[in-house]
Each structure stands twice: as C-alpha cells, then as structure tokens.
Amino acid sequence: MRSRRRVLAVAVSATVVAGLGVLGITTAMAADAGPIKGLGGKCVDVAGANSANGTAVQLWDCNGTGAQRWTVDGQQIQALGKCLDVTAASAADGAKVQLYACNNSGAQKWSAQGGRLVNAGSGKCLDATGQSSASGTRLQIWTCTGAAGQTWQVPGATTAPTTAAPTATQPPATQPPATGVKKKGVSSWEFAGVAGGVKDVGAGWYYNWGTNNDKMPADAEFVPMIWDETVVTAANLAKVKTEGTTLLGFNEPDLNEQAKMPVQQALDLWPQLQGTGMRLGSPAVAYGGDTPGGWLDQFMTGARQRNLKVDFITLHWYGSDFSDAAVGQFMGYVKAVHDRYQLPIWVTEFGLMNFSGTPKFPNTAQITAFIRNATAQLQSAPYVERYAWFSLPAVGDSVDYGLYRDATTPTEAGKAYRSAGS
C-alpha cells in the first residue's frame, strides 16, 4: 500500500511559475487610535483595563474600550498611556508581552511588516499563544512564520505590498494561507473515480504525493509535493510553481520504505524548495513529530539555525487502537506537535490501521465513528489548517479504508467523510 505512493510520486512528474506578492500593512501610517484585530477577529486587549506596569496583554472580544484603543506610529504601540513591551526585554520564543511605562527600549519598538508586528529588540513577531483565538489568550513574541496568529490589522493601516526586508531572525516572507479553502481534503493515487470522488466527497483540496495532477485533474485545489531528493530537479521545481501556491516537503523521510533521508540532507536541499517562493509544509514524518531530538525536531532546529522557512507542520498519523479512545490519541498527538513548534498543522494522512497485528483494519462501525468524531475535532481546532484522509480510492487492497469505489459510489467510510465539515 505505502510502496504504491513511492512509485506514483516518482512517476508523476513535473513544471512552472508564479510571481508572489505578500500583502500587508504599510510601515508608514498615521498614528490613529483604535483596535488591533487578530485571529478570529479578536482585539488586542489590556487585561482588566489595568494600566499598571506588567499588566498582561491578551486577545479579547472587541468592545471599544480604552483597553483596546492602541496608537500605532511605526515605532511604539501604546494604550492607556503606556507601551506594548516584551517582558524582561527577552528575545526568546514564547516571551510574553505586557503593558509597561514607555522607555524607548528595543523591547517596546515595533514595526509593521507584511501584516505582522515585528519587535525590534528581538526581530520576532507578535503572536497569539497556541494560535488560539479564545478570549484571554496571552500574546507573546515568536519567530515570524506567517501563521494566522501573527497577522494583525492595525488602526490607520492600508493594504499595500510590503517592501520591508526580513530581519536576520525572520524567515523570508511567503504567501499567507489561502482563504476560503475548506480544511477537508483527500490523498489519492490515480484511479478512474478521482474527479468524481473529489467532488462528491466535498474536498476543498487534494494531493497525490507528486509534483503535478496532469493525469488526475479534479475540481479542487491541487497541492504538489517533492517526495525525496530524487525529485529535487530544476524541471520539477519549475513545475510545482505552476500547480499552486503551496508545496509539501519530503514524504516520511524517517522511514526506509518511504523517502529515507538524513536530516542534514533534507536541510541542505530545503533552500531549493524555498526558492520556489511557495508556502512550505515541513517534511511529513511517519511518527514522533512531538519527540525531542526526533527526526522532525532535528529538522526544525536546523531550519531555525539556518534561517530556513517552514510555514506549517505536515503530519501523518495511524492508530492501531480501534476503540473510542482513538480520537483522543490522535488529537492529543496533533496538539502536542503544534504546541512544540507553534505552527499551523496540516494532517495529510490519517486513519486506523494495525500494521503489525490483527485485525489489521477496523470494522465499519469503528471506522465511521472515528471519522465523524475526528473530523469534528479537526474542524474546530484553530491550529489545524487542513487535513486529508488516507485515502480516496476504495479499490484493490484499499477497500477496507478507502472512501470511493468509483466516481459516485462511496463506502460507509466515504459517506461519513462526505459529511465532515458540511
């Protein structure tokens, strides 16, 4: 089953291009007083409208009070007569921001760059902790990633192309995530029912582990992938740019039967993927994405050290426990990975399979219950940008877990997945 993907990814080939512009707010703006709006339409808020030094700054429902009226002048951000400040002038990821008496330090200097608010003292971005839009979410600084929790609308801002160059600690700017695209997608290899199945199941996007969809077009966004080092060619990198705005990285480089790539090799090749100018998903490890010192952890550490860009984390998950506990195990893993890297999550493969025991697959009641409950939680998790069931075809050896027997005939699993996100 998994070897099929390798054959497909290498066989499905390659070409082209799109000039990208990052839209954001200009750094030259009037010092208007008003709300700063972020994730979920929530406002930057001084907790309890308290002007004391050290008061927490958070997200809150917009209410028009003085605690949410900020003056942004291209240097400082002020409310209640005091400045937005990084606690202890820290440059560490996760350092909380607060209200503090203005002192002209780097910890209180902020510039608007491409829709982000970048702190001069650290070179890092104002960020909603955990990419959460819940009222009471503390604000912090974090390495600039382009995540939704780092996008801000400030008073007096106008929409214009940003010309600010990235700082030494800020990854190069990239396109923001596409808006209006459903979270729900599917993975698929080539079969007769691709186009019909993608449409009938209501997928907003799909991918095939390859660089193009020339042989399997469908009416949904196609997301290309660079499978492994053999696919990193000039022709393939040109091809993926013609396919869309987002690119998936290497496929399960931690497994011998998949991409099988040492971390250093992946890091060395990454600038070529980054050179496409597309949004980049991390290499998708088969397991252990939340493990300190694991393959993904080593890659992300190296990417930070080399100032390489990773816009979101790509994950795979398969559970061998077919009981009701499976959903909690799955979502616990997804959240743990998000909490570790503070980046949006794409789950590009997930399902229930026991690779080493019996039964190998769940029964109909188990798989449909898992799909209903897991997709409901994926839909509601603010840090999950997209997800894709493995896989669309229910033909040959995939009948036990696939979604469609042909273009219009869903399995019971397919019916459950079709209902997701609707």
Residue 411 belongs to a domain with what CATH number? 3.20.20.80
d(Cα 187, Cα 199) in Å, to the nearest integer?
13
**154 in any annotated domain:** yes
Q: Tell me the pLDDT of the chain averaged across its residues.
A: 87
Give yes or no: residues 296 and 378 share one domain.
Answer: yes
Domain contains 166 = no
Give every strand in the sheet of 384-389, ordered side by side.
221-222, 205-207, 184-187, 384-389, 345-352, 313-319
Segment among 115-119, 176-180, 268-272, 331-335 with least mean pLDDT: 176-180
Place of tokens 């390489």: 308
Shared domain for 124 and 215, answered yes or no, is no
Looking at the fold, whether 50 and 11 belong to one and the same domain comes out as no
* Same domain flag for 135 and 220: no
Closest C-alpha among 116, 43, 56 to residue 86: 56
Same domain, 6 and 49: no
Task: For 237-248, write each residue's pLDDT tens digit.
Answer: 999 999 999 999
The CATH number of residue 134's host domain is 2.80.10.50
Whether 216 and 353 map to the same domain: the answer is: yes
Do residues 92 and 226 both lie within one domain?
no
Helix (H/G/I), strand (E/B), else coil: 43: strand
In the chain, what percentage of residues exceed pLDDT 70? 86
362 and 227 in one domain?
Answer: yes
DSSP-derived 3-state class of residue 18: coil
* pLDDT digits 0-9 by tens, 190-239: 999 999 999 999 999 999 999 999 999 999 999 999 999 999 999 999 99
Q: Which tokens belong to 170?
A: 């800020």
**What is the pLDDT, as a whole number, of residue 409?**
97
304 and 399 in one domain?
A: yes
| 243 and 198 belong to one structural domain | yes
Pairing between strand 279-281 and 345-352? Answer: unpaired
User: Are residues 348 and 314 located together in one domain of the fold?
Assistant: yes
80 and 12 part of one domain: no
Q: Which domain holds residue 120?
A: 23-161
Residue 171 domain-assigned (yes or no): no
For 122, residues 6+ apart whose C-beta sits below 8 A from its C-beta are 86, 90, 91, 95, 106, 107, 141, 169
Q: Which two tokens stand for residue 272?
A: 């070529």
pTM recorded for the entire structure: 0.63
Q: What is the pLDDT of residues 124-143, one digit of tens each?
A: 899 998 888 889 999 999 88
Note whether residue 353 is domain-resident: yes
Number of domains in the chain: 2
Say if residue 81's pLDDT is above 90: yes
